[in-house]
Each structure stands twice: as structure tokens, then as C-alpha cells.
Amino acid sequence: MNRVVVHYHEIALKRGNRPAFVNQLVDNIGRALRGTGVKRIRALAGRIVVNLTPHADWPEISRRLQRVFGIANFALSWRAERDIDAITATVLEAIDGRQFSSFAVRAKRADKGFHIPSPEIGRLVGSAVVERSHAKVDLRNPELTINVEVVQREAFVGLGRVAGPGGLPVGASGTVLALLSGGIDSPVAAWRMMRRGCQVAFVHFHGAPYQDRTSRDKVMELAQLLTPYQLDSRLYLVAFGEIQRQIVTQVARPFRVVLYRRMMMRIAEALAASTETRALALVTGESLGQVASQTLSNLTVTEEAVSIPVLRPLIGMDKAEITAQAQQIGSFEISIQPDQDCCQLFIPRHPATRSTVPEIHAAEQALDIPALVRQGLESVTVSTFASPAIRATAASEQTKAPATC
């Protein structure tokens, strides 16, 4: 073992922008694998090769690469000279000491200048493996898959491919700010945006001083869970209880939920513009029609409060689909813990399912919106999270507002 060969899929379909995506992926792999025994990472035609030190920690490397978006699959690999005898000898070295009763050799020439066609490489290598191991060839359901890839100046032998998470490398699509509520939906929405190549910052609105810490603790746990996918995260916590109380004293009951949402959007927009975040869009976990605040008219009214784009990656998913994804990510168990959700604070039993922009503008006349936004921003605390790869210190909580917002 001395290499990992990483394959990507979606990036390979890009044309002009492909080098930028590949560079981002190389960078992310390097950061994710810090401290595991990596010597060098290089991009070759259609694949990325990670050179390892003799004491590299393969189980840990495999665990971390499974969270690097942009990777289609990867395999523990050995380098060989571009020569069929050298390739065969390397395969025999790679399988030395392994127990398996059936196998398949999958050969691929990325460089068609190599004189032996792929099926013939498979046949030649396969018969040497049969002779050495006495295992059966099983092309359909092999216990061990041996991949042989011939590239321009060398060849690689890989054993047992591991699936990566797919998608695009984090950072390739810019930064977004996700509104994280502590419910089931918003962590899934944030994860899906990471998978589309976004670095995701988080903001959570909590009911202090009228509610306890439970929603904050949950969101901290969710941010920690999501961080290995993007290596470092920033979470803004906004005290929203007092702002809600002021809305409640000034505005008729049915509109309160929509007004809360519009205030959240405005504060989030200001945080998105801060120099330390520079997010290009907001992200929510809304799904059309799921609850009263998520009717098409309420979504429109909510969004009208800001000029930054609002992305809703779950808009067409139903609760069962979102729940299944939350379980797969591991956020479900955290999300279902009971908490005090600020959206439940001072809300009417029957919130308006259909509000209109003029109606809401009229209701907001009673409020000093810039002052409420300022109040929210002054309450902000920032927590930062780092995955083990780049963790210098444990997650730290600072009590200061972000710069220039």
C-alpha cells in the first residue's frame, strides 16, 4: 500500500471549468487528510493520486474521504511501471496475505497508447491471480475487485473501491448562510448545499431570554455533525425572544409567524454580508405546503423582506424523503430531541396560511425594523467548529458580533 487513487464523476463532465473544480478537490482532500500520513497529492488525467507514507492510517483515511464531496469512489492502490509483467507482479504483491474465494480484474486504459487492450490485461492478470490464490474468477459478484488502470506514464493497481459521497467539492460554488432551526429539515438542507459545492455558514435564532438553551445546544451538535463535510464551520446565534416580544405587542395575531420569518431573513441577510462570511445566498429547510408558514404565498412574502437570493433545496421533497436523508446523515437523532423552539414563542393557534405583501407591509408600519435588526445583530455570538483534520483547539464560543454588519 502506498497510494490512494481517487475518482470523480460529476466534475469530469465539466469542460472549461474542470481544472478549477479539480484543484478545489485536491485542496479539500489535502485538508481532510491532514495528519493521516500523506506525502503528496497530484491530479492526473481523470483521477487524483494521493501518495502515502509507510505508516499512513488507511482506516482513518477511508473514513475521512467518505465525507469529501466531489469524490465518486477511491481505492487503496499500488503504483506499477507501464508494463504487463510489472503490473502483474504488483497485483500479486497487493493481494499477498489476503483471503478471498472469488475475484474480478477490471482493467482500464486511460491512455489508449498502451499496446494491450483492456480485456487482455484482465485475462493476463486474472490467470496469474488464479495461479497464486486458487480463487475463482467471478465477474458478477466477486469477493475482491482488482482494478488496473493504465495512465500516461505509469499504472495503478487498486483493491476494493469505496464509494465517495459524490457531488461537487465544497468551496467550488461559493459560500451560503443556512438558517438552522434544530428541526429535521434545515440540517438536511445545509448538507445538500454542501454537496452542491457550497461552504455553508449557519445561523440560529433562539428564544432567550424567554426560553432555555436547549435549541442552542442542539444546533451546536448539528453544526459539529455537519462540519467534517466542509472541515470548518461558523455558527451565529441570535437572541430573538425580545424581538419577538416587540412584534407581539405591535402586530395582530395571525401575521406573527410570517413577521418572525421576515425578521429572521433580514438579520440573516446582514450576517451574510459580513466580511467574515460573505455569503451569496440564504438557505432554508422549507418544503412547499409542509406547514402554514410554507404555503406559496407565505414563502413569497417571507422572501420579499430581503434582496439576497433564498435557496430552498428541500422545496419539492416530502417529510418521508427528508427524514430518510436525515437518518442517513445522522442528524435525525439530534433533531428529534425535545427543545424550546423560538417559533413556538407567542404564536397564535391559527397562523395565517395566506398573507399578502401589502398586508404585511401595513402590519410592519408599527415596527422600527432597522432598530430590531440592529438589536438582533448586537446579540450575536459566534461559534466556530473544526473537523479533527484541522482542529487546532476545541470548538470555541466568542461573545462578539461579526465585523461590519
Binding site for ligand ATP (CB under 6 A): 179-181, 183-186, 204-205, 264, 284-286, 290-291, 293-294, 342-343
- Min dist CB 181 to Mg ion, Å, is 4
Nearer to Mg ion, 164 or 182 (CB): 182
Q: For residue 167, how many C-alpha atoms fall within 13 Å in the half-sphere facing its CB?
A: 21
- Min dist CB 14 to ligand ATP, Å, is 30
- Min dist CB 185 to ligand ATP, Å, is 3
Nearer to ligand ATP, 227 or 294 (CB): 294
- Min dist CB 268 to ligand ATP, Å, is 8
Applying CB under 5 A, among 126, 183, 254, 313 the residue interacting with Mg ion is 183
Place of cell 461537487: 168
Q: Are 85 and 121 in contact (CB under 8 A)?
A: no
Region label for 154, one of left (φ > 0), alpha (ψ between -120 and 50) or beta (otherwise): beta
Q: Are 84 and 124 in contact (CB under 8 A)?
A: yes
Task: Compute the distance between CA of residue 333 and CA of residue 225 in angstroms, rounded to an integer.
Answer: 11
- Min dist CB 393 to ligand ATP, Å, is 26
Which partner, ligand ATP, Mg ion, none, binds residue 364 by CB below 5 to 8 Å per kind? Answer: none
C-alpha cell at 263: 425578521
Nearer to ligand ATP, 133 or 294 (CB): 294
- Min dist CB 179 to ligand ATP, Å, is 3
| Stretch touching Mg ion by CB under 5 A, among 176-184, 224-232, 248-256, 259-267 | 176-184
Q: Which residue number places its CB atom closest to ligand ATP?
A: 183
Q: Is 181 among the residues that bind Mg ion (CB under 5 A)? A: yes
> By rule CB under 5 A, what count of residues binds Mg ion?
2
Nearer to ligand ATP, 21 or 205 (CB): 205
Task: Compute the distance between CA of residue 290 and CA of residue 316 in angstroms, rounded to an integer.
Answer: 10
Nearer to Mg ion, 103 or 240 (CB): 240
CA distances from 313 to 104, 185, 332 (A): 40, 10, 17
Dump the DSSP string for 236-304: EEEE-HHHHHHHHHHS-GGGHHHHHHHHHHHHHHHHHTSTTT--S-EE----TTSSGGGSHHHHHHHHT
Residues 133-172, one symbol each (x = binds Mg ion by CB under 5 A, - = not), give ----------------------------------------
C-alpha cell at 200: 455553508
Per the DSSP assignment, residues forming a β-bridge with 163 are: 73
User: Strand 47-52 vs strand 38-44: parallel, antiparallel, or unpaired?
Assistant: antiparallel
Nearer to Mg ion, 173 or 181 (CB): 181
- Min dist CB 12 to ligand ATP, Å, is 33
Task: Compute the distance between CA of residue 110 and CA of residue 196 in angstroms, rounded to an integer.
Answer: 27
Q: Is 294 among the residues that bind Mg ion (CB under 5 A)? A: no
Binding residues vs Mg ion (CB under 5 A): 181, 183
